[in-house]
Structure 1
Amino acid sequence: MTKKRRVDFSLNEDGKKVKINTREGVNDGSSRHGPNDSLLPGLIDDVALNCLAWVSRSDYASLSCINKRYNKLISSGYLYGLRKELGAVEHSVYLVCDPRGWEAFDPNVNRWISLPRIPCDECFNHADKESLAVGCELLVFGRELMEFAIWKYSLVLQGWVKCQGMNRPRCLFGSGSAGSIAIVAGGSDKNGNVLKSAELYDSSSGTWELLPNMHTARRLCSGFFMDGKFYVIGGMSSPTVSLSCGEEYDLKTRSWRKIEGMYPYVNGAAQAPPLVAVVDNQLYAVEHLTNMVKKYDKEKNTWDELGRLPVRADSSNGWGLAFKACGEKLLVVGGQRGPEGEAVVLNSWCPKSGVTNSTIDWKILGVKEHVGVFVYNCAVMGC
């Protein structure tokens, strides 16, 4: 005889934390256990959960329709955490290039999904915004009529809720995420002051924590995680001073280290924040004036030229273009005009495939037709 564990799932009142109820019984091979006694008949729930975690996220909606227990399992979000433990992460691209709002692209099934509209005021709708994917959430930062605001889209709940505000609200900051945490650094406050402060967001609790200040105040900068540390590079310390230095934050020692000349591609206030992405703990960037992709040499603190972008970045000083990491691939998202009208194209390249004769072999990952060619916001979620 073997012990058989049944697991039940439910959401707490805040819709975040999962309450797991377990009951143990004895499986002696008799027929007194009904066919609905386990998630997958013939398997204990622990094994069944591992099997279900490997099911594609695109099938979760169908799974939730099987019965009430499956519906509770999917809506609890428990499988998303289990997927990460097992390495079953899938990536989705979230972007907005049209006034109608956010779109999500699932490259695993080549499908676009329109997200619900953010239930914000009109000021937030029309103001400049920044975005960041962390855990199973998409955070959108902007300004409402009276103050800065953050709205978050929960992949689990399939809807928008207001996020707790930062300790020091800001815009035009650098940011990056790793697993369930994210860090924002620098930016400007509501009075236009350039900040050197930084904060850590924990998606599991929905809270913000102030970190030690950077050495240099900066705005219009970019952030990323690499080798378990957070970096911020580029930006401006004033309307006329561009920064070529970077800073490294060690989460263990809670200290910043300044790195001179880490990002030399500065071109004044008109340029976009540095277009950077990290794949396999290697840093890549776009030099928008030449439309070239470059790779950072950590030992020499220099950049090596790889090849050209599949779209032009020089015509708009790097604005309206997204350069992101999507699993093991680099992703370039940009608009194009053609006989069929305007469209946004997602181009991808796996650095492991190498470069041939200074040429990067970009592949088209997806196309969104009949939208604007300017990419206002873009984030990649791995969940």
Structure 2
Amino acid sequence: MINGMHKTRKFSSECFLRGKFYVLGGRDDNDKHLTCGQSYDETTDSWELIPDMLKDMTVIAHSQSPPLIAVVDDNLYMLEISLSELRVYDINTNIWKKVGVVPVSANAAFGWGIAFKSMGDRLLVIGTSHSWHRKTVVHSCRPSPDVEEQHWEEIKHWCVGAELPQFIHNCCVMFA
């Protein structure tokens, strides 16, 4: 059993980053969107509240997906769905920096129509293309927090001919 968090939440996103467990966003008991985050330190069995961790993120609908986050090379990335922007978190300043846009429609179905995952040293986005025929595409990049625009490559041999449903409820990426 571990100590309780400062704020209870549901529909949040979680990750391990630099030896701590982070919980971001979500909704409180009154269904209000939370902009704070929390980190758990196992060595001290304590939670640190991170006020306004998501203060610059746009809430586009009450039914919006939890924050789309992924960790690559000890950096936390987020997909800002309203603008299809990729952002990286500066843990020291509590600021998200824009590092480009993603090549898929991130705001499809209020963020539920896209998968955003890490795989080794890469980020993956799975969703529908920006083009008029709206086909399912998978793109990958090796992100860098110091670059203003990432280089995305389409992975052509995945999802060939597949049509994704409007909602991606869960996505797990595995490789050997």
TM exceeding 0.5: yes
Q: Is the 8 A contact 1:279 1:327 kept in 2?
A: yes
Task: Assess if the C-alpha contact under 8 Å between 2:80 and 2:86 holds in 1.
Answer: yes
Cα–Cα, structure 1 residues 382 and 212, in superposed 2: closer, same or farther, change >3 Å?
Answer: farther
1:248 to 2:39 alignment: yes
Q: Distance in 1 between matches of 2:90 and 2:47?
A: 20
> Matches of 1:234 and 1:216 in 2, distance apart?
10
Kindly indicate which of the two structures has a greater share of residues assigned to strand.
1
1:371 maps to which of 144, 163, 166? 163
Post-superposition shift, 1:328? 0.3
**Aligned mate of 2:143, from 351, 360, 379:** 351
Aligned 8 A contact 1:242 1:266 in 2: no
Asked if the contact 2:114–2:126 (Cα under 8 Å) also holds between the matched residues in 1, the reply is: yes
Q: Check the 8 A contact 1:231/1:249 in 2, yes or no.
A: yes
Q: Which amino acid aligns with 1:293?
A: L
Q: State the SS of the aligned residue for 2:44.
A: coil
Higher relative contact order structure (alpha carbons within 8 Å, sequence separation ≥ 6)? 2
Would the aligned equivalents of 1:224 and 1:278 in 2 still touch at CA under 8 Å?
yes
The question of 1:362 aligning with 2:152 is answered yes
Contact 1:294 1:304 in 2 (8 A): yes
3-state SS of paired residue (1:316):
helix
Contact 1:335 1:373 in 2 (8 A): no
Counterparts in 2 of 1:199-348, with a 5 A limit? 210-264=1-55, 265-267=57-59, 269-336=62-129, 343-348=135-140
* Aligned CA distance change for structure 1 residues 212 and 305 (closer, same or farther; 3 Å): same
For this pair of structures, how many residues does the alignment match? Answer: 171
- Are the equivalent residues in 2 in contact too, given 1:342–1:371 (CA < 8 A)? no
Whole-Å separation in 2 of the counterparts to 1:294 and 1:337: 19
Whole-Å Cα distance in 2 between the matches of residues 232 and 353 of structure 1?
Answer: 21
Partners of 1:315 and 1:231 in 2: how far apart?
Answer: 26
Gapped regions of structure 2 (runs ≥ 5): none
Q: CA RMSD in A?
A: 2.4
SS in 1 for 2:164: coil
Identity score, percent: 36
- C-alpha distance in 2 between matches for 1:337 and 1:360: 17
Letter of the 2:106 counterpart: A
**1:330 aligned partner, one-letter code:** L
Cα distance, 1:337 vs. partner?
9.1
The AA in structure 2 aligned to 1:288 is I
TM-score, normalising length from structure 2? 0.86
For 2:36 and 2:144, locate their aligned partners in 1 and report how far apart those are by CA, in whole Å.
Answer: 28
Q: Secondary structure at the match of 2:48?
A: strand
**Distance in 2 between the 1:218 and 1:317 partners?**
19
Q: Give per-residue Cα distances to partners, 1:221-255, cap 9 Å, x unaligned.
A: 00000001100010000354110110101122221
CA distance in 2, matches of 1:273, 1:279: 19
Q: Which amino acid aligns with 2:52?
A: G
User: Which SS does the other structure have where 1:317 is aligned?
Assistant: helix
